[in-house]
Amino acid sequence: MCKLILFILLLTVPLAADASTPNRARRTLAGIIYFTNDTPRNLDTFPIELFTHDRRRRVAAGKANARGGFELTGIKPGRYVLKLTWPPERCELWYRVDLREESKTSATVVMDAACANGSRIRDLKTN
């Protein structure tokens, strides 16, 4: 019984320490999809997805609002890949994003210009 209690304590102490660490505060990634020419009327249908850096697991998802703004909340600090889609599959953009620093959580994507350059993975400039 003592071993079981000790085992449970060993499991819970690191979790409690991790939750109390200021660097572990959840992040919000907010941004705007911007067009240089003829902004589509259906921006609120544009899917926004955030994946782990290896693209194996989606950790957050949402859609842009009518003005192109988006916000993904409750994200653990870390490195991710952001996927923006111009439906219907007209263009798919992938960006590396680093959310380890709290101050770097706002982004602007000029979607029509980015789509013209292809859908290779690139770094998302955050401020």
pLDDT in tens, 29-46: 999 998 998 888 899 999
1 domain residue, yes or no: no
76 domain residue, yes or no: yes
Number of domains composing the chain: 1
Which of the four pLDDT bands, split at 50, 70 and 90, describes residue 127?
low
Which of the four pLDDT bands, split at 50, 70 and 90, describes residue 59?
very high
pLDDT at 1 (0 to 100): 52
114 domain residue, yes or no: yes
Instruction: Tell me which DSSP letter residue 76 carries.
Output: P
Burial state string for 49-71 with b = 16 or more CB within 10 A and e = fewer than 16: bbbeeeeeeeebeeebeeebebe
Domain of residue 70, CATH code: 2.60.40.10
Residue, of 68 and 17, whose pLDDT is higher: 68
111 domain residue, yes or no: yes
pLDDT at 22 (0 to 100): 52
Terminal-to-terminal C-alpha distance of the chain = 52
Distances (CA, A) of 57 to 75, 81, 95: 13, 10, 15
pLDDT at 30 (0 to 100): 93
Q: Of the ranges 19-23, 26-30, 53-57, which one carries the lowest mean pLDDT score?
A: 19-23
The reported pTM is 0.75
45 domain residue, yes or no: yes
